[in-house]
Amino acid sequence: MSVFEHPSFDNHEKILFATDEKTGLKAIIGVHSTARGPSCGGCRFWSYDSSADALNDVLRLSQGMSYKNVMADLPIGGGKSVIMKPKGEFDRDALFQAFGRAVEALNGDYITAEDVGVSPTDMMSVHKMTSHVTGLPEGKAASGDPSPVTAEGVFRGIRACVKRATGSEDMTGIRVAVQGAAGHVGSYLCGHLSKAGASLVIADMDPASLQKHHDEFGAMIVDKDVIYDQDADVFAPCALGSVINPDTIDRLKVKMVAGAANNQLANLEMGGELQKRGILYAPDYVINAGGIINVMGEIRGNFDPEWVKGKLAGLEATLGEILDRAENEGRPSNVVADEMARARLEDAAVAKASA
Ligand code: NAD
């Protein structure tokens, strides 16, 4: 397994491989950039087939956090962590405490929070070992589960795309295919969409977990393998990454792709392929920044919901700027967004070096 030569290494400042035999911890923490402040990003708890898969995931995710945080104009850098789910029985509290010790070893260069498979209760276990943790369910500035705010940002992103495509923000009758609809973000997103008058076609791993959405929102449940083939206006990926790939792209019948999942494009070229097919793509890290904005509210102290709201409106403005540039220059929106993010990171690195 190569590290420095890894295609997604991208000059990560630090990568910490943490193991703990007693609890079964195998974790990787990626600190991509601290140019704008301590790196911050969630911890993913997942059954990886190999440590190479875990490394690949953490490198792509932590780079994405640098881009996300800088595009949301937050004074934090980009980092992320993954814990490989142990096979068999394990003590969850002890495992997350061991992870907390690894976070503490980075002396504040990395601040952790929830990501896929991790709950606010897990963050309380981490908190027993380090103060460099957010997304806590209790305490003075606690911001709790970031998912509802992420969902609100994604909803705003979808609505902005719809406005571009139809000339109106009216979501009545707009059909959205939500992948991962039973998840934390997916569930809240379905609520927003339904309230705004959109019709839903939804999929998740276990269709039974979607019955509530069917009853509450009149959503049509489909098998997870056919969510790409739906006659819909928007495809909203809210499960895992790399879902826009050579095997799925030609199955899409939608006009827009906008969702919560990180790293939706399997590779950069997929952005160009979407553009060629006339599909508008809202760069994932731009519209799914609501959760980290919420977390930032906690880091600032004295959690202020009005500040969070202002930042969510800022995401829409940034998306508009990216989509305008992409349209005017005839370039894929993901390429334009990456370019803007990298330029801002370079400016921050120069400012930090000369400070
Ligand atoms: P989650 O684990 O609660 O939800 C993911 C859902 O996707 C689960 O219900 C799971 O069963 C489902 N799923 C997995 N594979 C699937 C497949 N092949 N087809 C259909 N469904 C499938 O996670 P979450 O917190 O809701 O996050 C969802 C995505 O959004 C992730 O990619 C995450 O990194 C990203 N994200 C989350 C937040 C947040 O605030 N939670 C913030 C930014 C980005």
Ordered structural domains, the chain, with CATH: 3-62+76-127 (3.40.50.10860), 147-289+317-341 (3.40.50.720)
At 148, list the tokens: 């509802």
Residue 227 CA to residue 204 CA, distance in Å, equals: 9
pLDDT at 229 over 80: yes
What pLDDT score does 11 carry?
94
Residues catalogued as catalytic: 80
pLDDT at 352 over 90: no
Instruction: List 294's β-bridge partners, or say none.
Output: none
Residues within a 6 A CB radius of ligand 1: 115-117, 146-147, 150, 179-180, 182-186, 203-205, 224, 238-240, 260-262, 288, 291
266 phi/psi in degrees, rounded to 5: -65, -30
Q: What does the pLDDT look like over 101-137, one tens digit per residue?
A: 999 999 999 999 988 899 889 999 999 999 999 877 7
Kindly report the protein residue whose alpha carbon is nearest to atom 11 of ligand 1. 205
The percent of residues above 70 in pLDDT, for the chain, comes to 99
Kindly report the protein residue whose alpha carbon is nearest to atom 30 of ligand 1. 261
Residue 294 CA to residue 303 CA, distance in Å, equals: 9
Residue 206 alpha carbon, nearest atom of ligand 1: 11
200-230 per-residue burial string, b: 16 or more CB within 10 A, e: under 16? bbbbbeeeeebeebeeebebbbbebeebbeb
What pLDDT score does 24 carry?
97
Positions of E strands within the chain = 14-20, 25-33, 39-40, 43-46, 77-84, 110-111, 175-179, 199-203, 220-221, 234-237, 256-257, 280-281
How much is the average pLDDT of 148-167?
96
pLDDT at 204 over 90: yes
Residue 344 CA to residue 336 CA, distance in Å, equals: 13
At 276, list the tokens: 């060629």
Ligand 1: residue of 154, 238, 298 to mutate (most ligand atoms within 8 A of CB) is: 238
Residue 187 alpha carbon, nearest atom of ligand 1: 26
The percent of residues above 90 in pLDDT, for the chain, comes to 87
Residue 243 alpha carbon, nearest atom of ligand 1: 18
What pLDDT score does 308 carry?
92
Q: Binning pLDDT at 50, 70 and 90, where does residue 141 land?
A: low
Q: Binning pLDDT at 50, 70 and 90, where does residue 144 land?
A: confident
Question: Helix (H, G, I), strand (E, B), or coil: what is residue 43?
Answer: strand
Ligand 1: residue of 57, 185, 230, 245 to mutate (most ligand atoms within 8 A of CB) is: 185
Task: Count Cβ atoms within 10 A of the Cβ of residue 282 and give its class: 0-12 exposed, 13-18 middle, 19 or more buried.
Answer: buried
Residue 17 CA to residue 28 CA, distance in Å, equals: 5
Ligand 1: residue of 61, 226, 240, 308 to mutate (most ligand atoms within 8 A of CB) is: 240
Residue 294 alpha carbon, nearest atom of ligand 1: 40
Question: Who wins on pLDDT, 321 or 240?
Answer: 321
CA of 253 from ligand 1 middle (Å) equals 22
How much is the average pLDDT of 325-353?
95
Q: Binning pLDDT at 50, 70 and 90, where does residue 34 land?
A: very high
CA of 160 from ligand 1 middle (Å) equals 22
CA of 147 from ligand 1 middle (Å) equals 10
Q: Binning pLDDT at 50, 70 and 90, where does residue 140 land?
A: low
pLDDT at 67 over 90: yes
Kindly report the protein residue whose alpha carbon is nearest to atom 8 of ligand 1. 183
CA of 175 from ligand 1 middle (Å) equals 20
Q: Binning pLDDT at 50, 70 and 90, where does residue 138 land?
A: confident
CA of 353 from ligand 1 middle (Å) equals 37
At 355, list the tokens: 């400070």
How much is the average pLDDT of 72-84?
97
Q: What is the mean pLDDT of the chain?
A: 94
CA of 189 from ligand 1 middle (Å) equals 12
Q: Binning pLDDT at 50, 70 and 90, where does residue 354 land?
A: confident
Question: Angle at which helices 290-300 and 147-166 pack, to 10 degrees?
Answer: 140
- The pTM of the full predicted model, rounded to 2 decimals, is 0.93
Ligand 1: residue of 85, 184, 285 to mutate (most ligand atoms within 8 A of CB) is: 184
Please report, as a single letter, which amino acid is at residue 334. Answer: N
Q: What does the pLDDT look like over 269-299, one tens digit per residue?
A: 999 999 999 999 999 999 999 999 998 988 8
Kindly report the protein residue whose alpha carbon is nearest to atom 23 of ligand 1. 116
